[in-house]
Amino acid sequence: MLYPEISPHQSGWLPREDGHEIYWEEVGNPDGLPVIFLHGGPGAGISPNSRRFFDPEKYRVILFDQRGAGKSRPFGSLENNTTEHLIGDIEALRKERGIDRWLVFGGSWGSTLALAYGQACPERVTGFVLRGIFLGTTSEIKWFMEGMGRFFPEAERRFLDAAGFKDNPGYQPLLDRYADIFSGKDGEDAAVDAARVWSAYEATCCTLLPDDGLVEDFEGDQIALALAKLEHHYFVHRCFFEEDQLIKNVGRISHAPLVIVQGRYDVVCPPVSALALHKAWDGSELVIVDDAGHAASEPGTIRELVLATNRFDGKKFV
């Protein structure tokens, strides 16, 4: 269901006043409907398949690596890296590319950032296609650190071993211990090894059926180091939100159309968050994919995401 592989016809780095340089690329029809792709993680970065959820004849697709991720510079940096900074980067990119309003497409952490951006800049959004909803709440962070192991105990065992725990001590002691490791207190090699374990843990829990290729990708240096450090950073700071902030402020953007695509067996971001968003957003659509977990690469999820983008006419889903 993905569209054919496509290469960017424009790309570059957007310099920011605080020293970050944001890598961006553009594919598709320069005169098409504008859409911004927000990747997950934070820290995962974009990939060639990120470009393929959109009809290249219909859409003008803007993609970028968030601060510290992918080709953005400096790689893995936590300095000046908050949700507010990311929202500022999106707005700066919109202005730089000469776009007035755009559809916002994001999954997992990308759904979080999409909602936060929309609530900060509601006049710049034509609609949302969101997957694997994560609302940045304490309960969701706690689930990631404590709950996923109920379904993937072997992966959790490696996750705990890397932190030096025999049993799961709870999310806060785990966050504290990984903070020590990632800071280099145990040495640089230990920090790198722990980052690979953290990233592999998430990747293992992402799919309904085992996907060794996905786990291998997540363990690679280009993803693991940024993903683990940045996810941990955002978890420690509760995504820089007040509790339940995104649900409380839904009224700022609920005039826009929304399609939610959610895997039935999503262990990383369980469907309860998607249901909460759907209930709070009158007129939203919730599509449950019965044969999928969390990953955007699962066939049922790909199908529904592509169907959603195909239905959007610039103002609504038809």
3-state secondary structure 255-288: CCCEEEEEECCCCCCCHHHHHHHHHHCCCCEEEE
Average pLDDT score over residue span 195-200: 97
Residue 18 annotated as catalytic = no
Per-residue confidence at 252, pLDDT binned at 50, 70, 90? very high
- Position 90 scores a pLDDT of 98
DSSP 302: H
Residue 251's pLDDT is 98
Round to whole Å and give the CA distance between 30 and 173: 49
Write out pLDDT tens, residues 103-113.
999 999 999 99
The confidence band for 260, taking pLDDT boundaries of 50, 70 and 90, is very high
Residue of 89, 211, 217, 266 marked catalytic: 266
Q: Average pLDDT, stretch 18-38? A: 98
193 token code pair: 């090894």
> How far is Cα 272 from Cα 275, in angstroms, rounded to an integer?
5
Residue 108 designated active-site: yes
Q: Is the pLDDT of residue 75 over 90?
A: yes
Residue with tokens 């199908």: 303
Residue 67 pLDDT grade (very low, low, confident, very high; cuts 50, 70, 90): very high
- Percent of the chain residues past pLDDT 70, beyond the cut: 100
Q: What is the pTM of this model?
A: 0.97
Q: HSE on the CB side for 302, CA within 13 Å? A: 12
pLDDT at 111: 98
> Would the pLDDT of 118 be above 80?
yes
User: pLDDT tens digit string along 216-228?
Assistant: 999 987 789 899 9
Q: Spot the catalytic one: 108, 199, 273, 284.
A: 108
Tens of pLDDT along 47-66? 999 999 999 999 999 999 99
* CA pair distance 146, 171, nearest whole angstrom: 6
Mean pLDDT of 73-94: 97
Report helix angle 171-182 to 221-236, nearest 10: 130
Cα dist. 268→100, 141, 239, 273 in Å?
A: 34, 10, 16, 11
Concerning whether 294 is annotated as a catalytic residue, the answer is yes
Domains of the chain: 10-137+242-311 (3.40.50.1820), 139-239 (no CATH)
Per the residue annotation, which of 20, 39, 233, 294 is the catalytic one?
A: 294
**What's the whole-number average pLDDT of the chain?**
97
